[in-house]
Structure formats: structure tokens, C-alpha cells
Structure 1
């Protein structure tokens, strides 16, 4: 420091200041490591959460850790509604929807109604990394995935999904997702009845509106479910991912909220993340996870943001079934649900293993 004309007292002050700065930086790093990595996921999918946390704890990025966690659920066929072998459509076929989003770059990769490929979340990551697109669908998504190195084509059905489909057929294809068709109580083929059905109307100031249809018989824990996962890595970067084989007995070609950014999941590393599960056909009309992240951006805590997003849907569709978890960039997390009891799982450095949190409707 003599080159800068500093005397011994100045050098002593400069050295002390340098030590203080080094201590503060070390303290900040230590504080961050005590919070991260952090994994939050819908449902008690504990093995998936542990795999994601282990990846993040070993230096994987948030995106790659999310892919590890969701891949575990696909391999395990969590609840029979994630990965291959579950949720047959009306034709008895299983298809996969998946999505991954990077909260730093805001890039999204997704696949929908994908046939013959079992690795949904890995296909979504390939879309994000190797294309300028956000979403690929159907057999073209399958062809893309194979061209990028994923194994396939393979039959995504299982003995369990085929048995479920056969029993449904024996029950005259009830329940199903059709409305305003004939015949109503058989396996079709269906045709428009050509008539406007009478509907309840109420005067709400700007004219009559048709009452919403109640759908509680369609959705439950084992008829439709999504793994939606958020990971905060060691650097504080956040990513989210989802995977599902969709609604059981859906009309072929149906895409739910799983691959839709802002609906099943959303993230901004500056703010936090959200994951959702439930009646995707209803929930995707409200983009609840986008709403949650934006509410946290405006200062709401995760608990209040999640409740607000759920209540917005419930006011319009009082019989819908769904749930949300929210987590901010500081690691504070909460959940909210409607129509069922919801559980979500969390793993952090202070835990010896993943912990399940229960949220009442």
C-alpha cells in the first residue's frame, strides 16, 4: 500500500476494513447455504423431492434439479397419474404433458399430448434448450424427442391403465367429459344435439349469464394429478417443473394446465415460485400461478397470495377441485386448496428428510 502513499495507520485501517468486508461476505454465503437448496412439491412425492434436493445439494442447477425430481416421479408413476402407465383417455391411450421453466431467463419448454415417449420432463427441457419454441405437441413432440436422443417409441399403457379403461367401458363410459351431446349415457359416437339446453340464468347487471357446470364427479386425487415442483438451488436461482398424464378418460387430444406456464407452475427468481394441481380445465382459465407470483411481487406473503388465487377461481366455479403451493425467494412457503385436503412436500438443509405439510380446504 506504500505505492498509494498510505502511512502505517492508513494501512492498518485499510486492513481492518478489508477484514470486515470479508467477514460480511462470508456471513452472507453462510446464511444462503443455510436456506438453500430448497425443494417444494405438490403431494407427498417424497422420493421425487429427495432426488431433486440431492441434485441441488450436489451443485446441479435449479432447472436440472427440477428435471431430476420430476423424472423420479415419472419413473415411480406417482399416484398412477404421472409418467407412463396411467390415466387412459377415451381410446385407452396414455399421453404425457410436461413443462419446465427457468426463473432466471424466464425460458419455458413444454410438451403436450405427447405419445410414445415416457420421459416427459426431459422432453420439455430439450424443447427449452434446443429450440426457440415454448410448446410442442402430439406425435411431432414425440418425433422431436427421439431425434434429440430420448428413448422411444414405446407403449405408454400398462396393465393397470388397460384394466381401468375396460371397466369404464363396461360402465357405458361414465363419467365422461362430454356435455350437450347425444347419446349422453353411452360410449358414443357423440353428436351435437342441435339444441340449446335450458340453463339457469341470473341477472348480474349486464344481462343473463349461464350458470357454471358442476364437475366434482370428474376430479379426485386418483383421477387427475400433477407433480408440480419448485427448486431453489445453492445460488438462489429458482426453477419449476411439472409432469402429468392428464385427466382419466379425457377426450383424445385434450391438453390440461400441466404444460401451460402460469397455470400449473410459474417462477421468477427475483420473486418466488408457484405450483398447482387439480382440475386443469378450470384452473388454466385463471393462470393461478402467474397470479400468485405477481401477488408476491406486490408484497403479499405466500400464504395470502395462494389463498387469493384459489378464492378467485372458487368465486366463479364453487365446485372446482384444486390446490396451490407458493414459495418466495427467501424460502417462505404456504399452500391453499379448495374441494379437497391438499398436501405438499418440502426439503431444506435444516431437515433430515422431506416433510409433508397438510392444508385444509
Structure 2
């Protein structure tokens, strides 16, 4: 039986106090301990950071972590679940990503196939599914009884509330579509923007960053996106520098929360660049979060950051607390650290 240690802190920083790097190490957004344990098992046995991130995130895809990762969660406006994923190799700066992936459960593994078997970085939609099938992945429905019931309640009982439409008719705050444009050039200047409500069961990602025994860095994400999103929507998770970022010279970072807002600021990239300048992981994450909050005070999200030597930290905004999971050689088991936002 696994036991977990809980720490609640208002400001958190971890520093390596001796000259020996604290590697291997893995950190993960939210309380996704099983994914972290799997990634750590890979690292402990001498596996690569890329393997750890892929296999760790895959656990959440199979276990449908919090209903926000993997099949059977977050149906879109048509009732379909689609998946986004990213994996980044800090050695080469190569990226593999997929978005709006249909009928394939192993999104992060498809993303790794994009990284390793193509000269591209990003595949999307139905043609990404065709690529996955060509690579040997099995095509199957991502809909479950649970996701179908979620959609039916949203559509039939809640009259398609909430949704992500604006500047259309009929009034999207009162009824379902189909919708059509209202031709009013000033609409975006006069209407409030729709934001996700972010909590444990409605966020946008598992984000994971790992450093292996060789000092190589990798980062990745996997998600089924925002509930009741407009079909075709892509959030921050599969966008390099937004959902996650890795650079062997510095470390890595990952973000989670209101993806439509966060992707505009590339918070993972910013956190890594702040660490490159000498900032601690927590200070770097705080800078990334504050950059967003300065323009969108009501946004909800978090960033985790990890240096190549094993220092880690996190920052959050708009939610009461944010948990993340750490496993390294100084611990006999994983630890869940919860920070105040």
C-alpha cells in the first residue's frame, strides 16, 4: 500500500544544498500520484526522461485521471471526447504533439511517434488519427456511458450551459445552437470573455517534467480538454512552450488550467527562460503566472518548474490551493506538495 505525505505551503522552494544534482527526479501537476510512481519506476531503473514522461502520462490516460485525462471525459459540444498531448525532448528540443485526436486512446504515445518517426512537430484531427493507425495504434471509441451521460445532462437539462460561444445568435447563454454570427464589429470590445472554472475535476492537463540519471530533461502533457468545448478547439496542453517545455541547458516546466488564456502567454517557456536567467523554480513559476494574471486577473491555473539539477517549485492563481507530486532519490515514496494560491 502506498502512503503519501501532504505539505501545505504558501510559498514553496526546493534547493539542492550540496554539489551533487538531485537526479533522477519527476514532478507532476495535481495529485496524480500513480502517474508519478510509474515515471519514477522508469527513472529508477535507468530509463530515459522521455520514457518516464510517456509511460507516466499513459497511466493517467488509462486511469482517466479526474476525468480530465484520457478517454470518456470532457465531451465536446457534439458529445465526442478528443485528446491533446505533447512530449518534448530537452536534449534536441524536438517536439511531438497531437491535438483533437479522435478514436485513439494513447495520445501521448502517438505524440512520441510524431517526435520519433516524422520530421514534423504537430499533427491534428482526423488526419492525426490516420497517422496513429498507420503507426499501429488501435482505433476505438473514446465515448463511455459516463461521458454520454455528462453530455445528455448538459444538452437536455442544462440547455447547453455553460458553453464557449459569444457574438452569435440565438443567445448562447440561454439555448443550444446551431449558432450564427451577429455582425457587430464592436462585439468583442463590449462582451465579457468566457473563462473555464478550474478545480481538481475541471482543469486542462496532466503535466509532467522529468530529469533522468544522465541529466537529460523531458516534459509532456496529456488532456481531453475543456468540457463542452466547441469541436476542434485546441487548448494550451499540446502547444510547445504553453503546455510544457524542456531544455537540457536549464530544465523544464508544465502548465495547467484555463488553456485558452494560458496558451497566449507561453508560461512554460517563460518559466524555463526565467530559470535560465538564474531565478529559482518557484520564482520562475510565479513570474509566469503573474504575467497572465496582470492581463487576466480572473484566470485560474498553475505552473510547475524543475531545473536540470533537481530543484523544483510551483505557483498558482485563481484557485484556493494547487497540489503537485514529486518523487526523487531523497524520498522512499512520492510526496504530494500543496501550495496556497
Cα distance in structure 2, aligned partners of 1:256 and 1:296? 25
SS of corresponding position for 1:230 = strand
Q: Deviations over 1:117-147 (max 9, x none)?
A: 0000100000000000000001111111111
Aligned residue in 2 for 1:206: none
Structure 2 CA distance, aligned partners of 1:177 and 1:47?
32
Question: Which residue of structure 2 lines up, in the alignment, with residue 264 of structure 1?
Answer: 243
Checking the alignment, whether the CA contact within 8 Å between 1:88 and 1:250 is kept in structure 2 is yes
Question: Of the candidates 150, 161, 178, which is equivalent to residue 164 of structure 1?
Answer: 150
Normalized per residue, the structure richer in helix is 1
The equivalent of 1:234 in structure 2 is: 213
Counterpart-to-counterpart distance in 1, 2:196 and 2:229: 13
Give the equivalent residue in structure 2 for 1:346.
Answer: 326
Match of 2:105 among 100, 107, 118: 118
- Deviation, 1:330, is 1.5
Count of aligned pairs between the two proteins? 320
Determine helix, strand or coil for the equivalent of 1:35.
coil
Instruction: Please tell me whether residue 52 in structure 1 is matched to residue 32 in structure 2.
Output: no
Query: Structure 1 residue 183: deviation in Å?
Result: 1.2
Task: Give the match for residue 254 of structure 2.
Answer: 275
The structure having more radius of gyration, on CA atoms, is: 1
Aligned partner of residue 285 in structure 2, secondary structure: helix
Residue 76 in structure 1 maps to residue 63 in structure 2: yes
- RMSD over aligned CA atoms reads 1.6
**What residue number does 2:175 align with?**
186
Query: What is the TM-score normalised by the length of structure 2?
Result: 0.90
Paired residue for 2:184, among 195, 200, 216?
195
User: Does 2:165 align with 1:148?
Assistant: no
Query: Could you tell me how far 1:223 is from its partner in structure 2?
Result: 2.5
Q: 1:358 aligns with which of 310, 316, 338?
A: 338
What secondary structure does 2:291 align onto?
A: helix
Q: Which residue of 2 aligns with 1:139?
A: 126
After superposition, give the CA deviation of every residue in 1:249-275 in whole Å (9 maximum; x if it has no partner). Answer: 000000111110000100111101101
**Contact 2:197/2:300 (<8 A) preserved:** no
Q: Give the C-alpha shift of residue 212 in structure 1.
A: 8.1
Partners of 2:84 and 2:238 within 8 A in 1: yes
Give the TM-score taking structure 1 as reference length. 0.86
Q: State the shift of 1:211 in Å.
A: 7.2
Contact 1:326 1:334 in 2 (8 A): yes
CA distance in 2, matches of 1:313, 1:211: 21
1:327 aligns with 2:306: yes
Partners in 2 of 1:33 and 1:351 — Cα distance? Answer: 16
Deviation, 1:195, is 2.3
Structure 2 residue ranges without an equivalent (≥5) = 1-17
Alignment partner of 1:358: what SS? strand
Structure 1 runs not aligned, ≥5 long: 1-30, 200-209
Displacement of 1:61? 0.9
Q: Deviations over 1:288-346 (max 9, x none)?
A: 11001011111111111111110110010111111001111121111101111211100
The higher relative CO (CA closer than 8 Å, separation ≥ 6) is in: 2
Q: CA deviation at 1:218?
A: 4.2
Give the Cα–Cα distance (whole angstroms) in 2 for the partners of residues 213 and 198 of structure 1. 10
